[in-house]
Chain A
């Protein structure tokens, strides 16, 4: 199992979860607002990626950008 550096704190994960669920709903469940299949798929996909990030506690973009919303010292290897 590859070890992943966690970098999302509680607030970050909560906000992401809300946005992710909203995106999944708008993209896949009721895409009527968007009226474009491609965009709906993109938004839904974005929601799924974020849900995965929340589950892992780690955002890959945070890793590349070298930022973390977790307090230093609290970061753990999974």
Chain B
């Protein structure tokens, strides 16, 4: 039963109860007053009758009620003797014949001259008056069933009581209705305020974590045909530092400004929430793969302009992690947690954005065990596989990309996804990279001796880029293995450059001085600016496979590949297209003027000995059959 109904019922019940009590008391009072009046009237009648009796019998003989005695009332003449015994002399009226002197005595026992008694179940009023000049008394009885001289009073009173009672109840009902409405309205207002407080963040006016959970649960429950959506978690880098420097009030202002900028830059299919502190979340309902990339790009552009607080310009960076439903998780809590894991990973790697991958999860036991085994594995379990890159102009393979694998005695071949991030997080990345370069150089030395002229491309991670001793160590290895620097190429991903662009630039410049060739890997996914790109001493751009592998079915991807090729050529760089998986893509890339091709269509990564065989039989034209035979 709702609040309003309860209030009304309660109010009216109290009113009815009060009226009932009051009504009963008032009615009893009215009846008493009525009786008193009636007794008074009756007494007057009795006195009159008694006087009339006296006139009729002037002598001392007992008075007899004769047939002249006219009254409608029942009456008797009694003689009260000594000791209060009563002698009935004469009676008129049927009912009284059954009364004994004893009963009369009882009636008269209180010494009053009037009263109310019950005779034969009927309420009777009685009065007694002395008959003048005699020892006798006239006793008059009046029964309820006759018309009463005082009833007019009672009935008036009763009518008034009833009507007033109805009016009061009617008023009570209306007062209850109005009061209850006011109370309920006030409660609703307060309720709404509380709900708003719970679901909205006061500082930024963005929906809060509670709202996000609610929205996620709604979308998960609905789940139309497994439509997927993504959750992005965004964290401001070094916010604590900023807060401590500019003060907490300004820190709050910063968050507010941040929230406002985000609000204006989001598309219709994404909604932003504040999780708390310096953490925000974005719910992206657009299922397209490119939607998140576009969104992150927009956020990056939004943040490119510094924030101004108290005259100070503050450049702000964020780390973003994303998780997708239902691929990564199918409940709200886990989705957010995984997006946070990806975000922390992005922070650790100094890259702006990362999608969740199970390898980032720091808590799996297998991961922790592998981490402890990795150091020892460096010497003999780390091997390199090589994937050929075909030079389309020269129509031959002149370079390969070195891809690291871990030949674990127990788990078998572990791909780089699983242990590279481990190495980065546990500070072993530099060691690992140097080991890779060493292995590559040793292999190069062997090939050169065999008469093969192949350039080996090695991947550098962000940790390597920020290591100022890297160029020196590379030089030392070049010297040790007597390998010409022109045979070494380093591939650096676009996103790893963005963590510390200046330091990255200086490392690359040092490497460039050593005549080592440099290449930008996964181009198109790193959100770098062209002005920065211009400064880099690179001679090659590798287009990320996400644009190449599906480009025959996606016009947007075709446009991106075409314009990247043109851009690279205009910057005097050559272009490698990664991720070629079929003939049609290959042919189209040739048409676009792409310089180098890499992908499963040509060959999967091969160990060193199989690579040599591949060179002998299958390098031109690209034959996938070979790899199928030897898969």
Give me the interface of A with B, judged by CB distance under 8 Å: 33-36, 39, 42-43, 46, 61, 64-67
How would you classify the secondary structure of chain B's contact residues: helix, strand, loop or mixed?
Answer: helix
CB contact under 8 A between A39 and B174, given known A65-B181, A66-B181: no
Question: Once the chains are docked, how many angstroms separate the CA of A46 from the CA of B164?
Answer: 13
CB contact under 8 A between A64 and B178, given known A39-B164, A42-B167: yes
Contact indicator B160/A67 (Cβ below 8 Å): no
Contact indicator B167/A36 (Cβ below 8 Å): no
Contact indicator A67/B177 (Cβ below 8 Å): yes
Min Cβ gap A74→B in Å is 21
Contact indicator A61/B174 (Cβ below 8 Å): yes
Contact indicator B159/A36 (Cβ below 8 Å): yes
Total A-B residue contacts, Cβ distance less than 8 Å: 32
Contact indicator A61/B163 (Cβ below 8 Å): no
Question: Once the chains are docked, how many angstroms separate the CA of A61 from the CA of B177?
Answer: 9
Question: Once the chains are docked, how many angstroms separate the CA of A39 from the CA of B156?
Answer: 11
8 further A-B pairs in the complex, CB-CB below 8 A; given A34-B160, A61-B177, A67-B181: A34-B159, A34-B163, A35-B156, A39-B159, A46-B167, A64-B178, A65-B181, A66-B185
Closest 7 A/B residue pairs (Cβ): A65-B177, A66-B181, A65-B178, A35-B156, A64-B178, A61-B174, A39-B163
- Residues of chain A contacted by B163 (CB below 8 angstroms): 34, 39, 43
- Residue in B closest to A64 when the chains form the complex, CB atoms: B178
- Residues of chain A contacted by B155 (CB below 8 angstroms): 35
- Residues of chain A contacted by B159 (CB below 8 angstroms): 33-36, 39
Contact indicator B174/A36 (Cβ below 8 Å): no
A and B contact pairs by CB, cutoff 8 A, 13 listed: A33-B159, A35-B159, A35-B160, A39-B160, A39-B164, A46-B167, A61-B178, A64-B181, A65-B178, A65-B180, A65-B181, A66-B181, A66-B185
Min Cβ gap A32→B in Å is 10
- Residues of chain B contacted by A33 (CB below 8 angstroms): 159
- Residues of chain B contacted by A66 (CB below 8 angstroms): 181, 185
Min Cβ gap B18→A in Å is 20
Question: Once the chains are docked, how many angstroms separate the CA of A74 from the CA of B163?
Answer: 36
Min Cβ gap A8→B in Å is 15
Min Cβ gap A9→B in Å is 17
Min Cβ gap B329→A in Å is 43
Contact indicator A36/B156 (Cβ below 8 Å): yes
Of the residues A36, A46, A64, A65, contact of B160 by C-beta under 8 Å: A36
Question: Once the chains are docked, how many angstroms separate the CA of A3 from the CA of B159?
Answer: 40
- Residues of chain B contacted by A35 (CB below 8 angstroms): 155-156, 159-160
Question: Once the chains are docked, how many angstroms separate the CA of A66 from the CA of B167?
Answer: 21
Interface centre among A34, A64, A66 (most CB of B within 10 A): A66
Min Cβ gap B182→A in Å is 9
- Residue in A closest to B170 when the chains form the complex, CB atoms: A46
Question: Once the chains are docked, how many angstroms separate the CA of A67 from the CA of B159?
Answer: 32
- Residues of chain B contacted by A34 (CB below 8 angstroms): 159-160, 163
Interface centre among A36, A39, A65, A66 (most CB of B within 10 A): A65
Min Cβ gap A38→B in Å is 9
- Residue in B closest to A67 when the chains form the complex, CB atoms: B177
- Residues of chain B contacted by A36 (CB below 8 angstroms): 156, 159-160
Question: Once the chains are docked, how many angstroms separate the CA of A64 from the CA of B177?
Answer: 9
Min Cβ gap B595→A in Å is 71
- Residues of chain B contacted by A64 (CB below 8 angstroms): 178, 181
- Residue in B closest to A35 when the chains form the complex, CB atoms: B156
- Residues of chain B contacted by A65 (CB below 8 angstroms): 174, 177-178, 180-181
Question: Once the chains are docked, how many angstroms separate the CA of A36 from the CA of B164?
Answer: 11
Min Cβ gap A58→B in Å is 15
Question: Once the chains are docked, how many angstroms separate the CA of A39 from the CA of B160?
Answer: 7
- Residue in B closest to A34 when the chains form the complex, CB atoms: B159
Question: Once the chains are docked, how many angstroms separate the CA of A31 from the CA of B261?
Answer: 77
- Residues of chain B contacted by A43 (CB below 8 angstroms): 163
- Residues of chain B contacted by A61 (CB below 8 angstroms): 174, 177-178
- Residues of chain A contacted by B164 (CB below 8 angstroms): 39
- Residue in B closest to A38 when the chains form the complex, CB atoms: B160
Min Cβ gap B599→A in Å is 65
Min Cβ gap B468→A in Å is 75
- Residues of chain B contacted by A67 (CB below 8 angstroms): 177, 181
- Residues of chain A contacted by B178 (CB below 8 angstroms): 61, 64-65
Question: Once the chains are docked, how many angstroms separate the CA of A4 from the CA of B185?
Answer: 22
Min Cβ gap B176→A in Å is 9
- Residues of chain A contacted by B160 (CB below 8 angstroms): 34-36, 39
- Residue in B closest to A61 when the chains form the complex, CB atoms: B174
- Residues of chain A contacted by B177 (CB below 8 angstroms): 61, 65, 67
Min Cβ gap B148→A in Å is 16
Min Cβ gap A35→B in Å is 5
- Residue in B closest to A36 when the chains form the complex, CB atoms: B160
- Residues of chain A contacted by B180 (CB below 8 angstroms): 65
Question: Once the chains are docked, how many angstroms separate the CA of A34 from the CA of B177?
Answer: 29
Min Cβ gap A69→B in Å is 13
Question: Once the chains are docked, how many angstroms separate the CA of A43 from the CA of B162?
Answer: 12
CB under 8 Å from chain A, chain B span 174-195: 174, 177-178, 180-181, 185
- Residue in B closest to A26 when the chains form the complex, CB atoms: B163
Question: Once the chains are docked, how many angstroms separate the CA of A42 from the CA of B168?
Answer: 12
Question: Once the chains are docked, how many angstroms separate the CA of A46 from the CA of B185?
Answer: 29
Question: Once the chains are docked, how many angstroms separate the CA of A61 from the CA of B178?
Answer: 8
Min Cβ gap B275→A in Å is 40
Min Cβ gap B83→A in Å is 50
- Residue in A closest to B185 when the chains form the complex, CB atoms: A66
- Residues of chain A contacted by B167 (CB below 8 angstroms): 42, 46
Interface centre among B155, B156, B163, B185 (most CB of A within 10 A): B163
- Residues of chain A contacted by B174 (CB below 8 angstroms): 61, 65
Min Cβ gap A50→B in Å is 11
Question: Once the chains are docked, how many angstroms separate the CA of A43 from the CA of B160?
Answer: 12
Min Cβ gap A77→B in Å is 21
Question: Once the chains are docked, how many angstroms separate the CA of A57 from the CA of B164?
Answer: 27
- Residue in A closest to B8 when the chains form the complex, CB atoms: A65
- Residues of chain B contacted by A39 (CB below 8 angstroms): 159-160, 163-164
- Residue in B closest to A59 when the chains form the complex, CB atoms: B174
